[in-house]
C-alpha cells in the first residue's frame, strides 16, 4: 500500500486555502497542465525511459490540476453524473464539487475501494447488461489514475485498436475495414467475425496486474478489481473481471487485449516515404473496438488458423470466444460489425450500410415513442423525436446510408401522420395536413415536413444529413503525442460537425469544434465523443442544456444576436463565466 499512500499524502501540488471556489477555477490552464503532463509521459514511454515514466506518473497523481479536471469530468461532464454508488452520494453543485476536490486532494489516508452497485441496462438483443457503479470518490480517483496510466499505454497500443481511446471512434474501425478490403485487387475475402463471451466480467486479475507492472497506483487498481459488488443488498466478491461502469474499466480492457494483433499473425510492411505502413502481404488484418473485433483473412484455412491461435492467447487472460456469435464468413455473404453491415457485391464493390438489426431497433423505438406520445401535443413529439433522427443520422452518415435514410423518412412520415390521425379522430385529412405538414424548412422545398405551426419547429429528415466519408486516423497517432499536435489540430478542423441547427453549426465550424472558454471539444462528454447511435441520440437530447450561445458583447451593453457577436460554449463554462463577472472575456476573442 506504500504507492497508494504516497499518492495521497498531503504534500501535493495546489493551493493551501480551506475553501475552493469552483467558479474561480481557470479550466483552460488546468486542462493544459494535464495535457502537457500526459504528453511528457507519452514521450518518455516512446523513448523507453521507464524511470522517467514512473516519476512523471507520480507527478500526475499528485497534480492539483489533475484532481480538478477529474472531478469536473465525473461530476459535471459525465452522462452518469447523477447516478450514485452504494453510499448514495453525488456532487451536482459547485460547492459540493469544490468540497469533493479538496477532500480527495488533501487526504492523507490510503483509500480503500468501495464495492460497486449493480444496475442493469437493456442490450440491443433484449437482454440485460450488468453495470457496476462505483461511489463518486472512486470514480474521481479512477479518472486521476487514468490520466497517469493511459498515456503510457497510448504509446504502446496497436495501430488498429479503436475502442475507448482518445481521438478514435467506431467510424475509424469501420473505415479501417473499408480501406483494407475496398479495392478490386483486395485479396482478403474471408472474415473471422469474433465475439468474446462476457469479456469485462472475465478478465484475469493476475495477468492484468502483471501487464500494468510497477505503476505507482497499482494497489488502487487492484483494490478496484477486488472491491466486490452489492446486488439487491447482498455483497458478492469479484475474483475476476472489471465492472462495466467504472471510469478506468475500458482502459483496463484495452490493456488486457493488447497484443491481440500480433497473436493473430498481423504484421506491417515497411512504410514508404510520406505514407502510413500497411499490412504486410499475405498476413491477416485485425480491427478491434474494445472487445469486438474482426479478422480479415485471405482464405478459410487462414481464418481457422487465426482462430486457433487466438483461442490459446485468450486463455491465460481469462477470455474465450462466444461460440454462438463467433462466425467464419465470406465477405460476399457480409457480416455485421458495430451496427454496420460490411459486404462485397458480386461486382467486387464493397458496400457498408446500417445493419438490418440496427434499423429494426430504430423502428421499434420510434413506434414505442409515438405510442407513448399519443396524448401529447406537436411540440412534445418534436422534442422527443428530433434527437432520435439527428443522433441516428449522425452515427451512420459516414457510410452508404442514403437508401436507408430515405426508407426511414417514409417510415417516419407514416408514423407521425398516424399519430396526428389518432390525436384528431374527428378531423378530416386535409385539416390534419394543413395543421401539421408543410414547407417548414427555411431553405428546402420539402412540402411534407412535420412541424408545429405555433413555434415553427419541425422534424428534420434523415436524408437531409449529408453523407461524409470519415477520415481514418493514422495508425499510431495519439493526441498525447507532442509531435502530432498540428495533425490533431488539422483533423479537428476538417472533421464534419454534427447536424445541429444552422447557427450552432456555423459557430462550431468557426471555433474548430472547441469551446473558447475551456478549450475542450464541444461535443465531448466525459472524455470521448458519442460513439453509438444511443449515445448520439442522448447527446442531441441534452444538447440544448449542454451548449449555450454566449454574447461576446452583452445585450445589456448593446450587443446583438448577429453571428459575429456569438460564441458557442459549454453551458457549465457559460455559467462559470458569468459567475466570475466575465473576467476571462479575452479568452472568447
Residue 40 lies in a domain: yes
Residue 456 lies in a domain: yes
Distance CA 493, CA 514 (A): 10
Of 62-71, 231-240, 325-334, 548-557, give the lowest mean pLDDT range: 548-557
Of 294-298, 421-425, 430-434, 500-504, give the lowest mean pLDDT range: 500-504
Mean pLDDT of 433-459: 92
Residue 161 gets which letter from DSSP?
B
* In a shared domain, residues 168 and 68: no
- Which tens digits make up the pLDDT trace of 121-145? 877 666 778 889 999 999 999 999 9
* In a shared domain, residues 113 and 147: yes
Q: Using a CB cutoff of 8 Å and minimum separation of 24, what contacts does 278-285 make?
A: 279/180, 284/188, 285/160, 285/176, 285/180, 285/188
Local structure of 238: helix, strand or coil: coil
User: C-alpha grid cell for residue 181?
Assistant: 478490403
Residue 135 lies in a domain: yes
* In a shared domain, residues 183 and 228: no
Q: Give 3-state DSSP helix, strand, coil % of the chain, rounded to 5.
A: 45, 15, 40
Per the CB < 8 A criterion, the answer to whether 426 and 480 are in contact is no
* In a shared domain, residues 375 and 453: yes
* In a shared domain, residues 64 and 22: yes
Residue 112 lies in a domain: yes
Helix (H) or strand (E) holding 198: none
Cα within 13 Å of Cα(13), Cβ side? 14
At 484, is the pLDDT very low, low, confident or very high (cuts 50, 70, 90)?
A: very high
> Looking at residue 569, what is its pLDDT?
87
* In a shared domain, residues 512 and 536: yes
CA nearest neighbour of 461 among 453, 449, 451: 449
CA nearest neighbour of 390 among 338, 294, 283, 464: 464
- Report DSSP letters for 246-307, one per residue: BSSHHHHHHHHTTTHHHHHT--BPPPPTTS---BPTT--EEEEETTEEEEEESSHHHHHHHH
CATH of residue 324? 3.30.70.270
Tell me what the pLDDT averaged over the chain comes to: 88
User: C-alpha grid cell for residue 495?
Assistant: 472533421
Cα within 13 Å of Cα(267), Cβ side? 7
* In a shared domain, residues 74 and 59: yes
Residue 168 lies in a domain: yes
* In a shared domain, residues 338 and 309: yes
Q: Which residues pair with 550 in a beta bridge?
A: 567
Per the CB < 8 A criterion, the answer to whether 382 and 451 are in contact is yes
Q: pTM to 2 decimals?
A: 0.88
Q: Tell which of 464, 488, 510 closes a domain.
A: 464
Residue 491 lies in a domain: no
> Looking at residue 275, what is its pLDDT?
66
* In a shared domain, residues 260 and 368: no
Q: Taking 80 as the threshold, does the pLDDT of residue 1 lie above it?
A: no
Distance CA 147, CA 527 (A): 11
Residue 445 CB coordination number (10 Å): 6
Per the CB < 8 A criterion, the answer to whether 159 and 246 are in contact is no
In order of 189, 355, 510, the CA distances from 547 in angstroms are: 45, 31, 15
> Looking at residue 2, what is its pLDDT?
39
Residue 484 lies in a domain: no
Of 155-169, 280-294, 483-497, give the lowest mean pLDDT range: 483-497
At 153, is the pLDDT very low, low, confident or very high (cuts 50, 70, 90)?
A: very high
Residue 470 lies in a domain: no
* In a shared domain, residues 452 and 347: no
* In a shared domain, residues 123 and 218: yes
CA nearest neighbour of 261 among 241, 292, 284: 284
Per the CB < 8 A criterion, the answer to whether 174 and 470 are in contact is yes
Cα within 13 Å of Cα(26), Cβ side? 9
CA nearest neighbour of 62 among 224, 217, 166: 217
Distance CA 133, CA 143 (A): 14
Distance CA 176, CA 474 (A): 10
Mean pLDDT of 323-338: 94
Q: Taking 70 as the threshold, does the pLDDT of residue 19 lie above it?
A: no
Helix axes 136-154, 64-72, angle to 10 degrees: 110
* In a shared domain, residues 360 and 348: no
Domain that includes residue 578, residue range = 497-588
Domain count, the chain: 4
- Which tens digits make up the pLDDT trace of 539-568? 777 776 778 888 888 878 777 878 788 888
Of 64-78, 106-120, 162-176, 357-371, give the lowest mean pLDDT range: 106-120
Amino acid at each position: 500500500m506504500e504507492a497508494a499512500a504516497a499518492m495521497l499524502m498531503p504534500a501535493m501540488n495546489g493551493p493551501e486555502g480551506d475553501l475552493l471556489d469552483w467558479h474561480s477555477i481557470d479550466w483552460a490552464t488546468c486542462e493544459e497542465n494535464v495535457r502537457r503532463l500526459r504528453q511528457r509521459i507519452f514521450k518518455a514511454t516512446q523513448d523507453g525511459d521507464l524511470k522517467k515514466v514512473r516519476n512523471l506518473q507520480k507527478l500526475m497523481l499528485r497534480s492539483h490540476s489533475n484532481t480538478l479536471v477529474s472531478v469536473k469530468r465525473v461530476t459535471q461532464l459525465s452522462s452518469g453524473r447523477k447516478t450514485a454508488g452504494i453510499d448514495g452520494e453525488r456532487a451536482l453543485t459547485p460547492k459540493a464539487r469544490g468540497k469533493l476536490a479538496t477532500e480527495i486532494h488533501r487526504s492523507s489516508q490510503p483509500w480503500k475501494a468501495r464495492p460497486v452497485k449493480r444496475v442493469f441496462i437493456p442490450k440491443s438483443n433484449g437482454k440485460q447488461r450488468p453495470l457496476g457503479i462505483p461511489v463518486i470518490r472512486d470514480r474521481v480517483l479512477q479518472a486521476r489514475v487514468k490520466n497517469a496510466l493511459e498515456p503510457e499505454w497510448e504509446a504502446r497500443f496497436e495501430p488498429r485498436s479503436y475502442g475507448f481511446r482518445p481521438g478514435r471512434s467506431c467510424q475509424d474501425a469501420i473505415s479501417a475495414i473499408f480501406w483494407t478490403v475496398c479495392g478490386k485487387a483486395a485479396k482478403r475475402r474471408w472474415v473471422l467475425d469474433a465475439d468474446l463471451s462476457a469479456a469485462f466480467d472475465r478478465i484475469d486479475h493476475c495477468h492484468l496486474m502483471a501487464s500494468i507492472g510497477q505503476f505507482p497506483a497499482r494497489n488502487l487498481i487492484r483494490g478496484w478489481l477486488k472491491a466486490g459488488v452489492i446486488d439487491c443488498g447482498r455483497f458478492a466478491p469479484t475474483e475476476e473481471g472489471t465492472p462495466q461502469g467504472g471510469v478506468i474499466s475500458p482502459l483496463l480492457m484495452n490493456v488486457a487485449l493488447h497484443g491481440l494483433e500480433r497473436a493473430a499473425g498481423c504484421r506491417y510492411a515497411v512504410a514508404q516515404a510520406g505514407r502510413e505502413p500497411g499490412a504486410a502481404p499475405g498476413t491477416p488484418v485485425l480491427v478491434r473496438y474494445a472487445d469486438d473485433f474482426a479478422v480479415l483473412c485471405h482464405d478459410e484455412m487462414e481464418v481457422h488458423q487465426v482462430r486457433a491461435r487466438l483461442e490459446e492467447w485468450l486463455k491465460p487472460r481469462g477470455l474465450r470466444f462466444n461460440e454462438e456469435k463467433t462466425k467464419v464468413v465470406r465477405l460476399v455473404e457480409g457480416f455485421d460489425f458495430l451496427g454496420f453491415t460490411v459486404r462485397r457485391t458480386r461486382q467486387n464493390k464493397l458496400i457498408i450500410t446500417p445493419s438490418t438489426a440496427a434499423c429494426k431497433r430504430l423502428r421499434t423505438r420510434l413506434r414505442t415513442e409515438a405510442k407513448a406520445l399519443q396524448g401529447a401535443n406537436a411540440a412534445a413529439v418534436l422534442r422527443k423525436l428530433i434527437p432520435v433522427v439527428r443522433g441516428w443520422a449522425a452515427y451512420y452518415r459516414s457510410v452508404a446510408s442514403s437508401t436507408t435514410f430515405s426508407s426511414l423518412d417514409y417510415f417516419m412520415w407514416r408514423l407521425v401522420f398516424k399519430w396526428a390521425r389518432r390525436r384528431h379522430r374527428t378531423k378530416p385529412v386535409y385539416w390534419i395536413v394543413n395543421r401539421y405538414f408543410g414547407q417548414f424548412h427555411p431553405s428546402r422545398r420539402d412540402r411534407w415536413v412535420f412541424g408545429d405551426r405555433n413555434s415553427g419547429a419541425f422534424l428534420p429528415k434523415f436524408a437531409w444529413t449529408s453523407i461524409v466519408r470519415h477520415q481514418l486516423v493514422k495508425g499510431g497517432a495519439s493526441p498525447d503525442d507532442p509531435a502530432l499536435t498540428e495533425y490533431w489540430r488539422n483533423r479537428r478542423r476538417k472533421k464534419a460537425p454534427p447536424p445541429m441547427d444552422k447557427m450552432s453549426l456555423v459557430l462550431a465550424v468557426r471555433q474548430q469544434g472547441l469551446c473558447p472558454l475551456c478549450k475542450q471539444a464541444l461535443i465531448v462528454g466525459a472524455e470521448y465523443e458519442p460513439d453509438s447511435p444511443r449515445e448520439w441520440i442522448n447527446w442531441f437530447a441534452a444538447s440544448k442544456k449542454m451548449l449555450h450561445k454566449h454574447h461576446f458583447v452583452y445585450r445589456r451593453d448593446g450587443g446583438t444576436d448577429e453571428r459575429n457577436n456569438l460564441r458557442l460554449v459549454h453551458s457549465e463554462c457559460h455559467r462559470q463565466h458569468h459567475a466570475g463577472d466575465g473576467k476571462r472575456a479575452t479568452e472568447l476573442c
